[in-house]
Structure 1
């Protein structure tokens, strides 16, 4: 009887290898051969699942996005029912920031993919839709419902991520900057 193959599991194995290569050596080191070596599979197997580097990159980016969504969902669930809009946004953004070793690896990969898609927009067609959806959600939670303010908060998150990854900010500094921006948008919270 032939062995049953879980294709999604193999694709994820390859995507994880791609992310390790990208996190350790940068996207310029990502090739079918390097990814195959990191995954412990043949280059032919990688090509079986991903015909092009762009396909492989888009799938790996979707894995990073899923991980981020899981972190956000878990963090928001810990807040309980009916958290304040400010706390909800702070929790969501903090869950997406590269504040520890685990999230730094995903952050490095996400940043590398953003740079990759900046010169190859066709490599990640879902990014525009994801950004629009996130901006719309943030705007719906803001007191002003202002889309421009939501876009600014999203840009702040991305910038903080870059500064965290580059070592210019500590996690505490990044969270302080996030809190300062949230104070501007929601008003300064009362002190206890």
Structure 2
């Protein structure tokens, strides 16, 4: 009787290996051979699930995006039913920042993907849509006194990305990054905003 193969289990095994290689060595080190070695499977098996490196890269980003969405959703749920816009934005951004070991690997993969797309703009199409959606959400939460909410939202998003880079590089601690975020939110919302 032929052995029944659990394709989801194998895909997860390969995906986990892909994430480890990407987090430890950067996305440029990701190859069918490296991922296969990390997963303890043949390169042919990896190629069965991911035909190209671009497919592996896109999958890695999708995993990071999904994990980030889960963290944001869980953090927002802990806020209750009617948080202030400032608290809502702080919570969302803090959930996306690589503030601990658990989120640092995802941050490394995301940063490596940004670098990857810098020389392959076609691979950045999903990032453009995500960025536009996130900017629109942030702009909608900013106080009405911000005359150009879209520009203020873009600035806050850029601050988040910059803080992420400094956290990953070790230039900032989690406390320093959150203090910088709070200072910027104070500029946007006023010091007395909750």
Q: TM-score, normalised by structure 1?
A: 0.94
Structure 2 residue runs of 5 or longer lacking an equivalent are none
**Structure 2 equivalent of residue 31 of structure 1:** 31
Aligned pair in 2 of structure 1 residues 120, 7: CA closer, same or farther (>3 Å)?
farther
**Structure 2 equivalent of residue 188 of structure 1:** 191
**Structure 1 equivalent of residue 63 of structure 2:** 63
In 2: Cα distance, 1:8 partner to 1:80 partner: 35
Structure 1 residue runs of 5 or longer lacking an equivalent are none
RMSD: 1.6
Alignment partner of 1:125: what SS?
helix
Deviations 1:112-152 (A, max 9, x none): 01100111122242111011001000101111361111011
Alpha-carbon offset, residue 190 of structure 1: 6.2
Deviations 1:9-60 (A, max 9, x none): 4333322211211211222221100001111221101111111000111011
**Structure 1 equivalent of residue 150 of structure 2:** 147
**Structure 2 equivalent of residue 22 of structure 1:** 22
Alignment partner of 2:71: what SS?
helix
Alpha-carbon offset, residue 3 of structure 1: 4.4
* Total equivalences in the alignment: 191
Alpha-carbon offset, residue 75 of structure 1: 0.5
1:34-183 to 2 correspondence within 5 Å?
34-144=34-144, 146-183=149-186
In 2: Cα distance, 1:90 partner to 1:13 partner: 34
Aligned pair in 2 of structure 1 residues 2, 121: CA closer, same or farther (>3 Å)?
farther
Alpha-carbon offset, residue 109 of structure 1: 0.9
Q: TM-score, normalised by structure 2?
A: 0.93
Deviations 1:78-104 (A, max 9, x none): 011110000000000000001001101
